[in-house]
Amino acid sequence: MAETFRILTLNNISARGLERLPRERYEVASGIERPDAVLVRSADMHKLDIPGTVLAVARAGAGTNNIPVAALSARGVPVFNAPGANANAVKELVVASLFLAARNIGPAWLFARAQTGDDATIDAAVEKGKKNFVGFELPGRTLGVVGLGAIGVSVANAALGLGMKVLGHDPQITVRRAWELSSSVEQAVSLDDLFARSDVVTVHVPMNDATRGLVNAARIALMRPGGVVLNFARGGIVDTPAVIAALDSGHLHAYVCDFPSNALKDHPRVITLPHLGASTGEAEENCAVMAAEQLRDFLENGNLRNSVNYPEAVMPRAAGTTRLVIANSNVPNMVGQISTTLAAAQANIADLLNKSRGEYAYTLIDVDGDIDAPTFEALRSIEGVLSARLIAS
Ligand SMILES: NC(=O)c1ccc[n+]([C@@H]2O[C@H](COP(=O)([O-])OP(=O)(O)OC[C@H]3O[C@@H](n4cnc5c(N)ncnc54)[C@H](O)[C@@H]3O)[C@@H](O)[C@H]2O)c1
């Protein structure tokens, strides 16, 4: 009979995600004891006593700050997230923001709402006032996309569809994203090059020491007059006083972002939204589906996709083999010791995958037939093996 698994949920996980864990093999509940895995959204796991039975933690979302990743890594427990599951949601808000900025929709709407009197009076005021909100169209304008990850690529491709010229800059673009990116997107050789040639700059990079204040006074000064900055990444990536100064001087036309603050929220050339980028029902569902599918593939096959602490490791299953799944320290001779132990038990290796990431490594070995209990214990006790399990064929 196929192995069954117990999944502890620490938050409400969308039903569409949970459907990916079939009832015949998965018991999923919020109060489960001795769980094999944990599914979590934003619950803080740092103060939680995570049972030793836990083989993996999957986060139905992007960030993993609420999970004690380092401690779990040392226990040989992979942590998964759902990168890119909310990319479409963010892209749609960025596209909306292009129009908000280009057509002055925020101030124009406020103007219309402020009108009083009868309809004839409003008509007259509208005809007189509309000249203050003359906008521009997008075809032929240049969008500079900083960061070509899940969201940046999606935004870049969508902007081409709107007739914009698109420049991109990402020195660490992955092969996967490079494949997804339209060949019509032009590479900017540097950030300064991108700013100098863009009418609109949008940032889609993580917040870290290298990206804090990336949109600063010097780079804004490089932009064409009347430029627009969009920030749906993190507030600190844009130097707020620099943007406000450029808006006040008229060099920048508008700033649209997802991060309201006292300095920004009432500025006439700024539109701030209340961190709405990923706030769609679909994004939440996508995250849950992705997390559940990754967890299932790990529990049933030992495969690792989108683990934040262990390498990507996917190996097809072969009939008639037992799969040995080992998380180990990334030190020399681990595979040597494991294969020697298997050879001593006359176990024949049918397939093997060993990947490393930083101080950790991950090994999948398919062995013809079974692995007996003493051999498994011998494998488990090799110094450097952090976790080990067997998956029957
Ligand atoms: N507004 C929201 O609600 C919301 C929702 C989701 C994500 N986000 C933010 O958007 C960011 C991007 O998300 P994603 O899913 O596209 O992430 P991602 O990891 O897929 O892509 C980030 C990209 O930025 C690139 N990068 C990193 N540093 C760079 C630099 N200095 N210059 C140029 N490129 C650089 C990386 O190489 C990577 O390709 C996230 O880090 C997050 O902060 C915001």
Residue of minimum CA distance from atom 40 in ligand 1: 206
* Model pLDDT for residues 49-58, shown as the tens digit of each residue: 999 999 999 9
**What would the mean pLDDT of 314-343 be, rounded to a whole number?**
96
Q: Is pLDDT of 3 > 80?
A: yes
148 CB-near residues (< 8 Å, 6+ apart): 156, 168, 169, 170, 173, 177, 178, 181, 185, 204
Collapsing DSSP to helix, strand or coil, 324 comes out as: strand
Question: pLDDT class for 154, splitting at 50, 70, 90?
Answer: very high
* Model pLDDT for residues 358-369, shown as the tens digit of each residue: 999 999 999 999
Q: Distance (Å, rounded) from C-alpha 11 to C-alpha 58?
A: 12
In angstroms, the Cα distances linking 272 to 17, 119, 136, 278 are 31, 31, 20, 15
DSSP state of 307: B
If one residue of 179, 204, 216 were mutated to test the ligand 1 pocket, choosing by the most ligand atoms within 8 A of its CB, it would be 204
At 198 the pLDDT is 98
| pTM > 0.75 | yes
- DSSP string for 145-197: EE--SHHHHHHHHHHHHTT-EEEEE-TT--HHHHHHS-TTSEEPSSHHHHHHT
C-alpha 87 to ligand 1 mean position (Å): 10
At 159 the pLDDT is 98
Q: What is the average pLDDT value for the chain, to the nearest integer? A: 97
Residue of minimum CA distance from atom 41 in ligand 1: 206
C-alpha 259 to ligand 1 mean position (Å): 15
**What would the mean pLDDT of 305-317 be, rounded to a whole number?**
97
> What is the side-by-side strand order in the sheet with 37-40?
26-29, 5-9, 37-40, 56-59, 79-80
Q: Is pLDDT of 339 > 70?
A: yes
Nearest to 65 by CA among 194, 192, 234: 234
**Tokens, residue 5:** 């698994």
**Tokens, residue 73:** 């890594």
* Model pLDDT for residues 199-237, shown as the tens digit of each residue: 999 999 999 999 999 999 999 999 999 999 999 999 999
The pairing of beta strand 360-368 with beta strand 321-329 = antiparallel
Which atom of ligand 1 lies closest to the CA of 149? Answer: 21
Q: Distance (Å, rounded) from C-alpha 286 to C-alpha 306?
A: 14
**What would the mean pLDDT of 138-166 be, rounded to a whole number?**
98
* Model pLDDT for residues 61-86, shown as the tens digit of each residue: 988 989 999 999 999 999 999 999 99
Q: Are 365 and 323 in contact (CB under 8 A)?
A: yes
Q: Distance (Å, rounded) from C-alpha 350 to C-alpha 342?
A: 12
At 1 the pLDDT is 67
**What would the mean pLDDT of 11-20 be, rounded to a whole number?**
94
* Model pLDDT for residues 256-300, shown as the tens digit of each residue: 999 999 999 999 999 999 999 999 999 999 999 999 999 999 999
If one residue of 151, 180, 193, 219 were mutated to test the ligand 1 pocket, choosing by the most ligand atoms within 8 A of its CB, it would be 151
Residues in the ligand 1 pocket, defined by CB under 6 Å = 62, 83-84, 86-87, 90, 146-152, 169-170, 172-173, 177, 204-207, 210-211, 232-234, 258, 275, 277-278
